[in-house]
């Protein structure tokens, strides 16, 4: 279905590339948002028609409606997928300007660990044109900003000011008064903005006090390596790259039917593997709140091949290598695969507390092509910083959870 919009997708990629080269290019920032707004609303129009057809079919004769209903539901799912793809370009804008760890906070509810509910169809928003007018005024002043509804990730506010590293979220109201929902949104924004300004909050996502600690360990990513891996796979049928011990990038080009997938995977040296099927995560629209593939895949052809499913990308992490990295840093580590939320635990020798490293942090290895070694080192440094700030006063039985 997206194939009919290939020219628009190529233009979106070109505008995004121009922004990467020059983030101060307000004109390209405006043009890209206009394009995404048009394409998203176009998919919504298609979705409405299919939903209307589906309602009509479900009220028809029993013997004919099942097959037709299945076809319409399949089409509706494809339309939702197209809207998701367009919004990944919006995500790429946000991640270009803002800190990715800060952007994570804009995806979740401030009241619970669940993702914040989306606002629904853009074209149904009564205040959309007020938001567009406000955005235009901000851009005209030379300040980079974007509509939050053209992203999958930012689910608070109407406009995000892109002056980073933290997002500054603005709620645009078309009327002078606030109803109950408006007051709740205002209070949520205040709490979120207070966290960005002070690096701590009494209650966040229902988990109690939260504190943000920065790490000086350089964040290493292997975006160049994954792009080279895709290039070789498209030429040779498949490619395997090991950017550092404990992580493999495996890419298969689907047009090369002679590739023996099992043989390739069996050749990998692994002890405790964790597989990330990037195609599956894309198709399930389960990529948020990580750096989107529209930002990581540099080549327009590579991006198109991944969106279409012409390449299959697998990232494999060996947990054993995480333990080795921790040991090299003077710590000991253990894996608890029964703990879905915090599978990696690290104990620093001169501290009593254990570090619980979340699944969310570790997923960055697969979805953002980050170095697992740099993540482990950053986790250890973050806890050491906290320990120093509280004069090593962590209770013996208290751990430190790193959610990342």
DSSP output for 330-360: TEEEEE-TT-SS--EEEEETT-SSEEEE-HH
Q: Determine the pLDDT at residue 312.
A: 95
Question: Which residue in 63, 33, 92, 40 sits closest to 296, CA to CA?
Answer: 92
pLDDT at 249: 97
Check pLDDT > 70 for residue 62: no
Give the tens place of pLDDT for each residue, 308-346.
999 999 999 999 999 999 999 888 889 998 898 899 998
Contacts of residue 104, defined as CB under 8 A and 6 or more positions apart, other chains included, come to 289, 360, 404
- Identify the bridge partners of residue 241 per DSSP, sorted by sequence position: 249
Sign of the C-alpha dihedral, residues 127, 128, 133, 138?
positive
Given this model, what pLDDT does residue 278 score? 97
For residue 348, the model assigns a pLDDT of 82
**Chain CA centroid to CA 331, Å:** 30
- 148: closest CA among 138, 135, 133, 158? 158
- pLDDT at residue 64 in the model: 66
The pLDDT confidence band at residue 179, using thresholds 50, 70 and 90, is: low
What ranges do the domains of the chain cover? 2-211, 223-402
Cβ neighbours, 10 Å, residue 7: 8
Quote the CA–CA distance of 175 and 172 in Å, as a whole number.
9
Per-residue model confidence (pLDDT) at position 394: 45
pLDDT tens, residue by residue, 351-399: 766 788 889 999 999 999 999 999 988 888 877 776 666 544 444 444 5
Mean local confidence (pLDDT), 107-121: 84
**192 touches 105 (CB < 8 A):** yes
**What is the predicted pLDDT for the residue at 138?**
97
| pLDDT classification of 120: cutoffs 50, 70, 90 | confident
Summarize pLDDT for 16-57 with one digit per residue, the tens. 999 999 999 999 999 999 999 999 999 999 988 988 888 888
Between 226 and 257, whose confidence is greater?
Answer: 226
For CA atoms 41, 42, 43, 45, the dihedral sign is: positive
Q: For the chain, what is the mean pLDDT?
A: 87
pLDDT score for 186: 80
Q: How confident is the model at residue 264 (pLDDT cuts 50, 70, 90)?
A: confident
Of the CA atoms within 13 Å of residue 249, those in its CB half-sphere come to 28
For residues 174 and 359, the model is more confident at: 359
Q: Kindly report the pTM of this predicted structure.
A: 0.90
Flag the least confident range among 18-22, 133-137, 190-194, 323-327: 190-194
DSSP of 103-124, one letter per residue?
HHHTTB-SSSSSBPPP---GGG
Structure tokens at 345: 């635990």
Give the pLDDT confidence score for residue 395 in this predicted structure. Answer: 46
Indicate the SS3 state at residue 201. Answer: strand
The tokens for 200 are 């701590």
The mean per-residue pLDDT over the stretch 209-233 comes to 85
Backbone dihedral angles phi then psi of residue 213, each to the nearest 5 degrees: -125, 125
pLDDT score for 55: 83
Distance CA 228, CA 241 (A): 9
pLDDT band at 177 (very low <50, low <70, confident <90, very high): low
Task: State the CB neighbour count (10 A cutoff) for residue 134.
Answer: 17
Of 46, 357, 344, 374, the C-alpha closest to 215 is 374
Average pLDDT estimate for 95-113:
91
Residue 76 has pLDDT above 70, yes or no: yes
Vertex 136 angle, CA 131 and 137, to 5°? 100
At 396 the pLDDT is 47
At residue 145, what are phi and psi to the nearest 5 degrees?
-155, 165
What's the DSSP call for residue 125?
A: -
pLDDT > 60? residue 60: no
């Amino acid at each position: 279905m997206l194939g009919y919009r290939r020219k628009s997708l190529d233009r979106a990629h070109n505008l995004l590339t121009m922004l990467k080269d020059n983030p101060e290019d307000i004109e390209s920032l405006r043009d890209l948002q206009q394009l995404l707004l048009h394409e998203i609303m176009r998919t919504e129009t298609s979705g409405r028609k299919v939903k209307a057809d589906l309602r009509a079919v479900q009220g028809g004769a029993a013997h004919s409606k099942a097959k037709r209903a299945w076809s319409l539901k399949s089409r509706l799912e494809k339309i939702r997928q197209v809207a998701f793809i367009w919004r990944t370009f919006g995500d790429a804008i946000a991640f270009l300007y803002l800190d990715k760890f800060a952007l994570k906070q804009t995806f979740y509810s401030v009241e619970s660990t669940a993702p914040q509910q989306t606002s629904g169809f853009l074209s149904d928003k009564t205040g959309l044109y007020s938001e567009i007018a406000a955005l235009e005024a901000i851009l005209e002043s030379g300040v980079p900003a974007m509509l939050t509804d053209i992203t999958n990730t930012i689910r608070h506010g109407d406009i995000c000011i892109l002056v980073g590293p933290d997002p500054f979220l603005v709620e645009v109201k078309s009327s002078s008064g606030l109803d109950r929902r408006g007051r709740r949104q205002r209070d949520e924004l205040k709490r979120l903005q207070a966290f960005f300004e002070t690096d701590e909050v009494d209650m966040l996502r229902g988990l109690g006090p939260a504190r943000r600690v920065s790490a000086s360990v350089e964040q290493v990513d292997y975006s160049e390596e994954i792009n080279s891996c895709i290039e070789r796979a498209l030429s040779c049928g498949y490619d395997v790259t090991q950017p550092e011990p404990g992580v493999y990038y495996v890419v298969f080009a689907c047009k090369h039917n002679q590739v023996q997938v099992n043989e390739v995977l069996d050749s990998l040296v692994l002890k405790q593997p964790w597989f990330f099927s990037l195609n599956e995560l894309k198709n399930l629209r389960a990529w948020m709140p990580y750096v989107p593939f529209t930002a990581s895949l540099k080549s327009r052809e590579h991006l198109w091949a991944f969106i279409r499913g012409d390449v299959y990308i697998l990232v494999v992490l060996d947990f054993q290598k995480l333990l080795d990295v921790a040991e090299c840093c003077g710590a000991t580590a253990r894996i608890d695969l029964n703990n879905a939320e915090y599978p990696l635990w690290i104990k620093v020798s001169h501290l009593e507390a254990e570090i619980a490293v979340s699944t969310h942090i570790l997923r960055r290895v697969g979805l953002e092509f980050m170095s697992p070694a740099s993540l482990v080192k950053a986790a250890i440094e973050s806890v050491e910083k906290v320990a120093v700030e509280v004069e090593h006063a962590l209770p013996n039985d208290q751990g430190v959870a790193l959610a990342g």
